[in-house]
Structure 1
Amino acid sequence: MATRPLQPNHAVELALLAILATLWASSYTFIKIGIDTIPPITLIAARTLIAGGILVLIMRWRGIRLPRDAASWRNFAVQACLNSVIPFTLIAWAEKSIDAGLAVILNSMTPVFTFLITWLWSRHEATSLRKFAGVVLGLAGTSIIVGSQAFTHVGQELTAQLAVVLATICYAGAAIFGRNFKNLDPMAPAAGSLLSGAMILLPLSLIVDRPWTLVPSGASIMALIGLAVFSTAMAFVIYFRLIHTLGSVGTTAQAYLRAPIGIAIGAYFLGESLSRAAWIGLRFILAGVAAMTIPQGKRKAIVQAA
């Protein structure tokens, strides 16, 4: 169902950007608690199914219908793979061996990879030397974090960090591909992609994890509910709105807010602490993302409109 293009109101959009950063920052802690007794594939299958179902109910209440044409659902499936199926599962698996705080730092590279894909391939938004400098800083920060593990923790921890980086690249692709839904109400691609993701993951969950044999703890169940309702259903609606109003690079700017918020949540609820290399890498990444997203000479706005 088509809708009128959203007109950006920077005060509202920046507030939504901060809310989105908080919702997604909390997801890393929810995941860490959830995978304690729920395997990654089953956790993410349930996450997408519950969140998608909630959005469908809200859409019915608002009188919005999901499109029925095959082309829209093919796009939903692609968006699902880029924005939920692959990255959600990779991050959930990675957090079995790395802290939530480290995962959120590595995942804050999303704007950098979004810029690189834009610059090298899609060219749908303007690029600049300042943004390129931000890319260099961001890549340097990631190299410091991942490189510090290359010789001291060869094996699963290094592989887990690389899995989060791969998830980050998927998120960057999703931010760009999400522009294909500009003629739909933001809830439609959110619900459609989540339901598509659930249809992909549920059979895998049944085969791999045999969920009927699991005995999840109360804490894991509560974490799953928080993950599905707040960090997914609510977050996706805000995300697709911002893709329309702020553009893909601007929307991924929430990563530089998400990193410190996610670290604080992990430290408070999980008692995590970061290594010296992680703190150094975080500074490089935040400097890089800020260079890419804060318009020159416009400190009152932290993102550029698309």
Structure 2
Amino acid sequence: MSARAWTAFAVVSALWGIPYLLIKVAVDEGVPPGFVAWVRVVLGAVALLAFAPRAGVLKVFRGKVRWLAVFALSEIVVPFPLIAVGEQHVSSSLAAILIAAAPLFVALLALRFDASERVRGTRLAGLVIGLAGVVALMGVDVAGRADEAFGAVAILAAALFYAAGPMVLKRHLSGADPRASMGATLILASVLLSPAAVLTPPASMPPPPAIVALLVLGLLCTAAPLVLYSVLIAEAGAGRALLITYVNPVVAVVLGVSILGERPGPGTIAGMLLILAGSWLSARGGPRGHPTPADPAVASRAPDGPAAEAGHAR
């Protein structure tokens, strides 16, 4: 990956390791999952639109509203509440590690939708090892506990939607200014999540820890990472962009242990080690004989980005 991609990777990995702690604090204080997701998105939209070019946001809405809706649903509207629901039943550490299944779902979706993202060789071995880590988590730390199993399945469903989102972004929205496209996405997601916020408001004013968690979640951990994530996808492709989900669990586990007093079980430790090993292998090599998404020869093929042509779309 390029230096720009690695910088975006590092920042997004760190910032998106924090939300699991904040979501856990909010839901444990009684804030409903749908309301958590809505507040996060509204605050993120306000923060981002302060810097996004207004004309660019309107342009994205005029030309690509259908794909904005698809991206908003797959990247925000569905997975954000699912993660909050899951964290009502599992620890923040386990939630973050289970989200690391997203690159595995990319590989599965690529079999049908994106030839350029199909993995083989070393990268395939890395994804298999990562999947073994997910199996270790589900089989050791969750097996036999219906409440936690429900939460874990909700998290895995969110990971599946996270896998689909970057494919839509790269193929249909990559030509727009990242700030404009993410600002438009957050506006649309705010509208789509409004019914959940109206139907499931908090029973009373959330306590100070929950309010602080929601503010940090929306203002710091939503707007800026989404912009950098779109840059990362354009530079490195969907599969490698989603490798952030192999790194941010480490941040989430450290925060969960040090702040919330979580105690990861043996399956969590084994799963995280396998997932990190899979991340390293997956990042080492790409499919031979295929240019990387950052290759100028690929990027110059179409105005919508490196994956605009058939067989090179995400």
TM-score range, shorter chain: 0.7 to 0.9
Q: Is contact 1:108-1:285 (8 Å) kept?
A: yes
What displacement does 1:151 show? 4.2
TM-score by length of 2: 0.85
Alignment of 1:160-179 (within 5 A): 160-179=151-170
- 1:43 is aligned, of 21, 36, 55, to 36
Distance 1:295 1:129 in 2: 8
Q: Is contact 2:16-2:221 (8 Å) kept?
A: yes
Q: Is contact 2:104-2:127 (8 Å) kept?
A: yes
Distance 2:274 2:257 in 1: 21
TM-score by length of 1: 0.88
What displacement does 1:117 show? 1.5
Structure 1: gaps spanning 5 or more residues: 1-7, 297-302
Give the direction of change, closer, same or farther, for the CA distance of 1:37–1:178 in structure 2 (3 Å limit).
Answer: same
Aligned twin of 2:192 = 200
What displacement does 1:119 show? 3.2
Residue-by-residue CA offset, 1:194-225 (whole Å, 9 max, x unaligned):
11111111122212x145x4310111111111
Give the direction of change, closer, same or farther, for the CA distance of 1:214–1:202 in structure 2 (3 Å limit).
Answer: farther
What amino acid does structure 1 have at the position aligned with 2:229? Y
Q: Is contact 1:48-1:197 (8 Å) kept?
A: yes
2:182 counterpart of 1:182: no
Q: Is contact 2:74-2:162 (8 Å) kept?
A: yes
What displacement does 1:289 show? 2.4
Residue-by-residue CA offset, 1:13-52 (whole Å, 9 max, x unaligned):
2122111001000010011112223111011011111111
Structure 2: gaps spanning 5 or more residues: 287-291, 296-314
- 1:230 is aligned, of 220, 226, 250, to 220
Q: Is contact 1:20-1:254 (8 Å) kept?
A: yes
Distance 1:294 1:197 in 2: 35
- 2:232 is aligned, of 220, 242, 256, to 242
Q: Is contact 2:77-2:193 (8 Å) kept?
A: yes
Q: Is contact 2:134-2:271 (8 Å) kept?
A: yes
RMSD: 2.1
Give the direction of change, closer, same or farther, for the CA distance of 1:210–1:263 in structure 2 (3 Å limit).
Answer: closer
Give the direction of change, closer, same or farther, for the CA distance of 1:53–1:257 in structure 2 (3 Å limit).
Answer: same
What displacement does 1:125 show? 3.0
Q: Percent of aligned positions with the same letter in both sequences?
A: 26
Aligned twin of 2:80 = 88
What displacement does 1:277 show? 1.1
Residue-by-residue CA offset, 1:41-65 (whole Å, 9 max, x unaligned):
011011111111221221148x644
- 2:22 is aligned, of 30, 37, 40, to 30
Distance 2:127 2:285 in 1: 15
What amino acid does structure 1 have at the position aligned with 2:205? V
SS at match of 2:274: helix
Aligned twin of 1:285 = 275
Q: Is contact 1:52-1:191 (8 Å) kept?
A: yes
Q: Is contact 1:49-1:195 (8 Å) kept?
A: yes
